[in-house]
């Protein structure tokens, strides 16, 4: 997902990170039409059909709908790992191992998986995810059931979250079956998914995408789906992670 701002060298880094362990032809980049030229310069080898151009900024839920329907048209059994392009990962071998293991988990279970980061401090710039397993659940070393999502809490609340040991930072990295995230988006975000009705034949038509985005609300995937679904799970990631904006 590379539509939040003009793509930078971090897009190249993110692409290379995934291309090191996934087939390159399976990597999609979703960005705004006005940034497509920059994306092409950064990723000249990216197939044109794998560069999804958003005509208008609509946050992450419409972005995910566009990508999910595109992948379903290619492979109804597709598995997805979704990530922003502006993250720094400091142990890429462990990252690849973690993604591989969680692909196995979501292939066997119809869940929406997010990778959680054990918080180092009470940072108000991140979303927080509480798990049902309680204090220091990260020590269990296995997927955990999500209890609550909280987006960027005030400092006093963030401090409480960190003290409880039940909360993780939201890394923004998700894994799921394309079919499962489709079900949950169609359940909780019909205002978005209805705009893509006819996607089976319409996705290749720029006019179809323009119409779909013209009617889509601006809404994040976290707020629209992850905070509402009962299928949310979290895996405590152990690789180094940072948001570029917080470096």
Q: Residue 30: beta bridge partners?
A: 52
Q: Which CATH class for the 9-246 domain?
A: alpha beta
Amino acid 220: pLDDT: 94
Report the range of poorest mean pLDDT among 45-49, 136-140, 154-158, 232-236: 136-140
Amino acid 217: pLDDT: 96
Amino acid 96: pLDDT: 97
Amino acid 141: pLDDT: 86
- Round the average pLDDT of the chain to a whole number and report it: 95
224 pLDDT band, cuts 50/70/90, is very high
d(CA 209, CA 86): 25
Q: Which of 220, 189, 195 lies closest to 63, judged by CA?
A: 220
Which two structure tokens, joined as six digits, stand for 217?
């609300």
Higher-pLDDT residue of 245 and 119 is: 119
Q: Which tens digits make up the pLDDT trace of 120-176?
A: 899 999 999 999 998 988 888 899 999 999 988 999 999 999 999 999 999 999 999
Q: What angle do CA 41, 43, 47 make, to 5 degrees?
A: 115
Amino acid 6: pLDDT: 87
Q: Which of 164, 169, 165, 150 lies closest to 222, judged by CA?
A: 150
Secondary structure (DSSP) of the chain: ---SS---HHHHHHHHHHHTTS-GGG--EEEEGGGHHHHHHH-TTS-GGGEEEESS---HHHHHHHHHHHHHHH-TT-EEEE--S-EEES-HHHHHHHHHHHHHHHHHS--EEEEEE--SS--TTS-EEEETT-TTGGGG-S-EEEEEEE-S--HHHHHHHHHHT-EEEEEEEEEEEHHHHHHHHHHH-HHHHGGGTTHHHHTT-HHHHHHHHHH-----HIIIIITT-S-EEEEEE-S-EEEGGG-
Amino acid 3: pLDDT: 80
Which two structure tokens, joined as six digits, stand for 159?
């401090």
Q: Which of 233, 236, 232, 234 lies closest to 138, judged by CA?
A: 236
Higher-pLDDT residue of 136 and 111 is: 111
Amino acid 139: pLDDT: 87
Amino acid 122: pLDDT: 94
pLDDT of 247 higher than 60: no
Share of the chain above pLDDT 70, in %: 99
Amino acid 116: pLDDT: 96
Place of tokens 């889509």: 216
d(CA 193, CA 187): 9
pLDDT of 245 higher than 70: no
């Amino acid at each position: 997902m590379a539509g939040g701002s003009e793509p930078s060298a971090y897009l190249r880094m993110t692409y290379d990170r995934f291309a090191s362990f996934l087939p390159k032809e399976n990597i999609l980049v979703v960005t705004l039409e006005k940034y497509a030229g920059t994306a092409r310069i950064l990723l000249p080898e990216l197939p044109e059909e794998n560069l999804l151009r958003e005509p208008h900024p609509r946050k992450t839920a419409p972005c995910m709908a566009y990508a999910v329907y595109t992948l379903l048209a290619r492979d109804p059994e597709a598995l997805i790992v979704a990530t922003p392009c502006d993250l720094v990962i400091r142990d890429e071998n462990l990252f690849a191992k973690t993604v591989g293991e969680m692909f196995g988990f979501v292939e066997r279970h119809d869940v929406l998986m997010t990778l959680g980061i054990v918080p180092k401090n009470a940072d108000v710039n991140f979303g927080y995810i509480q798990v049902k397993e309680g204090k220091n659940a990260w020590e269990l070393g296995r997927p955990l059931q999500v209890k609550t999502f909280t987006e960027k809490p005030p400092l006093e609340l963030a401090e409480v979250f960190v003290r409880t040991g039940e909360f993780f930072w939201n890394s923004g990295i998700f894994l799921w079956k394309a079919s499962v995230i489709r079900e949950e988006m169609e359940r909780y975000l019909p205002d978005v998914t209805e705009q893509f009705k006819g996607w089976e034949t319409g996705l290749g038509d720029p006019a179809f995408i323009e119409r779909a985005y013209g009617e889509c609300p601006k809404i994040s995937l976290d707020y629209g789906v992850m905070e509402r679904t009962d299928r949310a799970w979290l895996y405590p990631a152990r690789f180094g992670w940072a948001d570029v904006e917080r470096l």
